[in-house]
Amino acid sequence: MPGRYYLWTVGCQMNKADSEKLAAGFDRMGLKPTERIERADIVVINTCSVRQHAEDRAYSKLGRVRDLKKSNPALKVAVMGCMVGLKTGDLEKRFPQVDVFARPQQFEPIIELIEGPIEDLGGEFWPTTYAIPEGPTAYVPIVHGCNKFCTYCIVPYRRGREKSRPMDEIVREVAYLTAHGVREVTLLGQTVEAYGHDLAEQPDLGDLMRDLSALDRLQRIRFLTSYPRDMTHRILEAIAELPKVMECFSLPVQAGSNRVLDSMRRGYTREEYIEKIAEVRSLMPHAGITTDVIVGYPGETGADFDETCSLLEELRFDKVHVAAYSPRPGTIAWRKMEDDVPAEVKAARLHRVEEIEERISQEINSTYLGTVQPILVEAIRNDQPNGRTRTGKLVHLDAPARIGSMVDVHIEHAGPFSLRGMPADALVLA
């Protein structure tokens, strides 16, 4: 068995969680991690194909691996993640240095590359293989795949259809994480409110949150990413009622024009999306809400884009993640639609959305000035602790604090992207 592994990851939180689970499996088998790729006996590249930049980074890394394998033919190489589809013929031709390709959550081919037949691993390996957390927060996938098939998105073709994990399995994993110092978990799904639709008992996200809230050591629960039609009133009531669940939503809209939304196959109208935001805010008036927007989608006119801008002005999101459309091979848009919005127009539209987002974010963040916000200290960078409010605002703390501690912070400065302040008890003592 090879002794050292090098595991490289690009992409979303789901990819990070997959890599952590694979690393836990390697550790269980006695392999040791290395940060130097040239010292590895097995190299695993965990890829993302949502953006071209992510694929380009993976290609660059694979070029490095090709050179290493020439000098060390015994090196074992695996590629996993969203670049790997049902058919791998083209990838095999392009990257002959790769020994095995594995789709997301398909760990067995990689383990077999090292260990031989999976039957020799001793029963239920993956459901009980958990990564030892490195800090007070952790990502926990609860539903894999996506059934939505939006025209621009490759995820359903790479991660497959929605498949929920059993609730008791998730609760056991979170209990394990909290026993090892985790105080906040983020429940993950491509459409997280789809959780439970495919299970026999048909629990929903709210049921899972209730069970997790009963874990004494768990202090905070977050979740992403949301989809408007899956976000039921029953789930929203659970979020509003459970103190451990943070009032923080990631609810992509993608466009403000009904014509574009229909072309994207998003499954809702502008008006229905606005109603969903109103429902969230009626239950949780101070909820933090972020969204995603694509500009320059095929056929998007100036009038369509103006409707997106007017939606952003009307709904006033805490943050807007904006990207210029780029065709992803294998998607419906790539097969059937012309990428007809010029690059310079895409750039101008992206810049306009960024300007709107920065102005509104600054205005919203300024309302936090003088308030006291509880944060869980997640990290220390440049000797400055940081954490997030219940609504997802990044807060920098101008005082020492221990990672994993809860601190009430008096907010003294607000920028468009973060807040800053001092511990409230320090001000009282002063």
Q: State how far the Cα of 264 lies from the Cα of 261, in Å rounded to an integer.
A: 5
Residue 422: left if φ>0, alpha if ψ -120 to 50, beta else—which one? Answer: beta
Strand arrangement of the beta sheet that strand 163-164 belongs to: 163-164, 137-144, 184-189, 220-224
Amino acid at 33: P
Residue 347: left if φ>0, alpha if ψ -120 to 50, beta else—which one? Answer: alpha
Number of Cβ within 10 Å of residue 151's Cβ equals: 18
Residue 430 has what pLDDT? 45
Buried b vs exposed e over 179-188: b needs ≥16 C-beta within 10 Å? Answer: eebbbbbbbb
What residue spans define the domains of the chain?
A: 4-121, 137-366, 372-429
Q: State how far the Cα of 392 lies from the Cα of 289, in Å rounded to an integer.
A: 9
268 Cβ neighbours under 8 A, 6+ residues apart: 228, 229, 261, 276
User: 């400055």: which residue's tokens?
Assistant: 384
Q: State how far the Cα of 69 lies from the Cα of 73, in Å rounded to an integer.
A: 5
Give the CATH superfamily of 372-429: Nucleic acid-binding proteins (2.40.50.140)
Residue 198 has what pLDDT? 95
pTM of the full structure: 0.86
Q: Maximum Cα–Cα distance for the chain, whole Å?
A: 68
Do 161 and 199 contact (CB within 8 A), yes or no? no
Q: What is the pLDDT along the chain (430 residues), one digit of tens a residue?
A: 558 999 998 888 888 888 888 888 888 788 899 999 989 999 999 988 777 777 788 888 888 888 898 888 889 999 988 888 766 777 788 888 889 888 887 788 888 887 754 444 443 445 567 777 889 999 999 999 899 999 999 888 888 889 999 999 999 999 999 999 999 999 999 999 999 999 999 999 999 999 999 999 999 999 999 999 999 999 999 999 999 999 999 999 999 999 999 999 999 999 999 999 999 999 999 999 999 999 999 999 999 999 999 999 999 999 999 999 999 888 999 999 999 999 999 999 999 999 999 999 999 999 999 999 999 999 999 999 999 999 999 999 999 999 999 999 999 999 999 999 999 987 654 4
Q: At what angle do helices 343-366 and 302-315 cross, to 10 degrees?
A: 10
Which class does domain 137-366 fall in? alpha beta
Fold exhibited by the domain 4-121: Rossmann fold (3.40.50)
Residue 408 has what pLDDT? 97
SS3 at position 142: strand
